[in-house]
Amino acid sequence: MSSASATAVEHDPWLAVENVTVEFPGVRALDGVSFSARAGEVHALMGENGAGKSTLLKVLSGVNRVTDGALWIGGERHVFANAREALRQGIAIIYQELTLSPNLSVAENLLLGQLPQHYGIVNRRQLRERALAILEELGEGSVHPATKVRDLSIGQQQMIEIGRALLRDARIIAFDEPTSSLSVQETRQLKRIVKRLRDEGRVVLYVTHRMEEVFEMCDAVTVFRDGRHICTHDTMAGLTQDQLVSEMVGRDIEDVYGYRRRDIGEVILTVESLEGRGLTAPVSFEVHRGEVFGLFGLVGAGRSELMRLVCGVEAPKGGEIHFNGRTGRFNSPGQAIHAGIAMCPEDRKSQGIFPVASVTDNLNISCRRFFKRMGLWRHPKRELDNTRDYIEKLSIRTPGPRTRISTLSGGNQQKVILARWLSEQIELFVMDEPTRGIDVGARRDIYNLLYDLADQGKAVVVISSDLTEVSAICDRIGVMRDGALVDIVDRDTATPERLLGLALPS
């Protein structure tokens, strides 16, 4: 950059990414990316998984080294060799997977690397006082500095990460999917903190798939696709959600949801007066073959709890379940699976996959019972062939069937979980937040898979807190509030406004 350009960068913007290219063996993760962000601005970074957002954050944090290009921070040119150099330049990243030490206290995590010491001994009084001051500043004054981080909620842990960044006087703070695991109250608190960081003159980079957050919180947005910079909007004025989605995926938003009308078949599931943990009133509803049935509600409304009772994850206290000619409640998930009901949980990483195992092991874990019945326990070649078959059928993006599943994107992990149940004789698929943390392009693939199942005469239940999603892909939507099913709305009348009105406390 010329000296004239450098002078411009020094004043506005504070951060400039200049022609950054990052290459790995056989892969160009970033391809000549350039954009800038101003001090006192919340700048959204948008794009599908694989678009280059995470790689860019790792460049900013010094984890990934650039192949070409540079960063300009406050008018100075930098190419970071490691994370320590990035920290010295006032850059902090709040990752989706938090980086705290769970067995250390809140105070120790906040001041890790800068503990107050006297002759090599930690000054506990100063440690507590400095921790209390930052906790009060973040609105977390009720958290005791001596509390172990493992005992905090995800939202509180995130505040500790932010506090650590403030104590290091970070001028550039990047958030990676910060609200994906937060409650409504925790999300509100985070939004207040982000706005305060902006008002203090910091650069806030905000990576999210949630459109409503971008339009509510952000002052500017940069779109990436396939490792390239597509465009930057310096203002949100006049920008629409449809336009932004189109820029992200290269196609119109209608193509993302792609709803298909189909003939709805006979009733396959009837739930009568079901009672159990998480429900405050008996619940009754029906699901048909060929139907995508939605369950919508706010956090704590009882959506997941209801279907956990149906699927045998929790034991019901009362009521009846009639499924595919069978009457009776399920006492375990195994019983439900044997009958033809499978649930893909909300928390894929802790409940849906075996992260250290391969794609093949994760995909075949359920159908090994079939191989065993056929006298083939275990049959690695059949499992490998089965995996390759589903990789092709479901367009699972993976280097190979033996790849560790934790290295795949959220969308591809979800496809592997679906493939696991497609290997069984499942008639009812229960999908709990199936697209949470998944980019727009991968969402389209998941929706098409659900439509394919419905077209085959299967039944699909989608539990979702995404208003646009449930109103766009479902044939009927059950709305839950405070542990009760308050209404079932047909697709034609299921506007986001009506659904939210039913879900909110009266």
- Number of neighbours of residue 27 by Cβ within 10 angstroms: 10
Q: What integer pLDDT is reported at residue 302 of this predicted model?
A: 92
Q: What integer pLDDT is reported at residue 71 of this predicted model?
A: 95
CA 356 centroid distance within chain? 20
For 4-15, letters b (16+ CB in 10 Å) and e give: eeeebbeeebbb
Do residues 363 and 387 lie in contact, with contact meaning Cβ atoms separated by under 8 Å? yes
Domain boundaries, the chain: 3-256, 278-340+425-506, 349-424
H helix intervals, 320-367: 333-339, 359-364
- For 437-454, what is the HEC assignment? CCCHHHHHHHHHHHHHHH
Do residues 121 and 201 lie in contact, with contact meaning Cβ atoms separated by under 8 Å? no
Do residues 68 and 19 lie in contact, with contact meaning Cβ atoms separated by under 8 Å? yes
Do residues 23 and 42 lie in contact, with contact meaning Cβ atoms separated by under 8 Å? no
Q: What integer pLDDT is reported at residue 3 of this predicted model?
A: 33
- For 47-109, what is the HEC assignment? CCCCCCHHHHHHHHCCCCCCCEEEEEECCEEECCCCHHHHHHCCEEEECCCCCCCCCCEHHHH
Q: What integer pLDDT is reported at residue 251 of this predicted model?
A: 62
Hey, what are 5's tokens? 């350009």
In this prediction the pTM is 0.59
Question: CA 270 to CA 428: how far, in whole Å?
Answer: 12
CATH classification code of 3-256? 3.40.50.300
Q: Over the chain (506 residues), what is each successive 10-residue block's mean pLDDT?
A: 34 85 82 95 86 90 93 93 91 86 90 77 83 87 89 87 89 89 82 94 91 92 92 93 80 70 93 95 97 89 94 93 92 90 77 82 70 56 86 85 85 83 86 79 83 94 88 94 95 86 78
Question: Options 3.40.50.300, 3.30.70.250, 1.20.120.1200, 3.90.1520.10; which CATH number does 278-340+425-506 get?
Answer: 3.40.50.300
Do residues 175 and 205 lie in contact, with contact meaning Cβ atoms separated by under 8 Å? yes
H helix intervals, 146-218: 154-167, 184-199, 211-217
Opening angle at CA 485, ends 482 and 491, nearest 5: 125
3-state helix, strand, coil in the chain (%, to 5): 40, 25, 35
- Give φ, ψ of 90 to 5 degrees: 80, 35
Residues in contact with 346: Cβ distance below 8 Å, sequence separation at least 6, in sequence order: 304, 432, 433, 436, 463
Do residues 467 and 296 lie in contact, with contact meaning Cβ atoms separated by under 8 Å? yes
Q: What integer pLDDT is reported at residue 348 of this predicted model?
A: 66
Question: CA 276 to CA 274: how far, in whole Å?
Answer: 7
End-to-end CA distance of the chain: 58
Hey, what are 8's tokens? 């411009």
Q: What integer pLDDT is reported at residue 347 of this predicted model?
A: 66
Question: CA 505 to CA 499: how far, in whole Å?
Answer: 12
Helices (H) and strands (E) in the chain, counts: 19, 22
Opening angle at CA 445, ends 439 and 446, nearest 5: 85
Q: What integer pLDDT is reported at residue 196 of this predicted model?
A: 93
Topology match between the domains 3-256 and 278-340+425-506? yes
Q: What integer pLDDT is reported at residue 177 of this predicted model?
A: 85
Give the CA-trace dihedral at 271, 275, 277, 279, to 10 degrees. 80
